[in-house]
Structure 1
Amino acid sequence: MQKHPAAKREDVRAMYFRRSTATFVAAAGAAILLIAPIPANASTEVPAAATASASNPCKSQHYSKVAYTFYIGPGKMPLRCGTKTWGYNHIVERGRWSTSFKNKISDTLFNGYERTAGVYYRYKVGTGCSSKPPRKNFKVVVNKGPLGGMPGGLTPQGIITATVEYTTPAVAAASASAEAKC
């Protein structure tokens, strides 16, 4: 059975297109190799600094951009990019940011308690020699008011900072100093 002349033309065109595309791709690859040769000892791994900056949601962003959103019950609390004194950039600059730290912020805001206005705590009992060991508190400070304190600004400003605090009850501190080291 013979093909129709028009179908035969389509087969020839498709074959020509495949060959020309393959030739173009091969030529482009060779050109790249000629322009930018790769040394024999070159590593294909991404440097750690590049990986960290690639995962930074605030790289080259305005301070008001929301990096992450956390929940306080049904309400939302943003972690904005901020500056060196508040927000995501503040936390990162102090070497605190990690996935674990992010999870602690989330847990503290959702399951913790508000000790004073805008200051949330979630504690875990630490280890120690006395009968009342020190507490490892996770503290998150938020500003529920407008960004910059200006009426009509972005509301809420969001998370200002987060940190770990160790507190020892006054009675335990006095008895621990009187007791021998354990």
Structure 2
Amino acid sequence: MLHHTAVKAALSAAVVIPALLIPAAGSAYAASPASGQTVTAQATSFDAKCRSHSRTYVLKKYYREVPVGPPTFITLRCGTSTWGWKHIKAGHGWNSTMDRKISAAIGTGDPNGRGGYSTYANQCPRVEKFRTIIGTPGGRNDLLTAYKVDQPAVADAARC
């Protein structure tokens, strides 16, 4: 009898567990924002963290290699509608691609003269593809915003 009960319990669990792993149509993982971009698990996690923490809560650190000494880092804080993660999510969209572009710009991009770092297309004149701006009311080394751009770098245009 004990063996029969264990088999029933195992079969019951086998049916319930997969149902728990499939996101419901109304869940945060299955939903898409109005922009049509896919909501990532990280965005859902950041939403939850920012709901329960202040605007200065650090969500992530982006590291920049420097020639001498330890790497420096730029923090992404929850922020507000005008700076930080909430601003980027609402104004520019947040997904894994945005996260990767921010990481690339901060990690290996060139200073952009706007207090941040940018990535450029490899052409002449150089065309700025993605820009970050650093410095917020929350901190000097905080990410204010990040966004896609398609414009020639003014200083480099004359050199071609």
Q: TM-score range by the shorter chain?
A: 0.5 to 0.7
2:58 aligned with 1:66, yes or no? yes
Q: CA deviation at 1:156?
A: 4.2
Residue identity opposite 2:46 in structure 1: C
Residues 116 and 106 (structure 1), Cα distance of their counterparts in 2 relative to 1, 3 Å cut: same
Residue identity opposite 2:89 in structure 1: V
The separation in 1 between residues aligned to 2:118 and 2:8, in whole angstroms, is 65
Residues 45 and 69 (structure 1), Cα distance of their counterparts in 2 relative to 1, 3 Å cut: same
The separation in 2 between residues aligned to 1:110 and 1:101, in whole angstroms, is 14
In the other structure, the counterpart of 1:91 is: 88
Deviations 1:108-149 (A, max 9, x none): 1111111326221111147xxxxx577242100011x772xx
The separation in 2 between residues aligned to 1:53 and 1:98, in whole angstroms, is 6
Residues 116 and 133 (structure 1), Cα distance of their counterparts in 2 relative to 1, 3 Å cut: closer
- Whether the aligned pair in 1 keeps the contact of 2:130 and 2:149 (CA below 8 Å) is yes
Residues 58 and 157 (structure 1), Cα distance of their counterparts in 2 relative to 1, 3 Å cut: farther
Q: CA deviation at 1:92?
A: 0.8
Structure ID, larger Rg: 1
**Over the residues paired in the alignment, what is the CA RMSD in angstroms?**
3.8
In the other structure, the counterpart of 1:167 is: 151
* Alignment equivalent of 2:77, drawn from 80, 101, 123: 80
In the other structure, the counterpart of 2:130 is: 138
User: What runs of 5+ residues in structure 1 fail to find an aligned partner?
Assistant: 1-15, 25-43, 127-131, 148-154, 173-182
Identity of aligned residues (%): 24
In the other structure, the counterpart of 2:36 is: none
The separation in 2 between residues aligned to 1:48 and 1:70, in whole angstroms, is 32
In the other structure, the counterpart of 1:47 is: 25
2:131 counterpart SS class? strand
TM-score (norm 1): 0.54
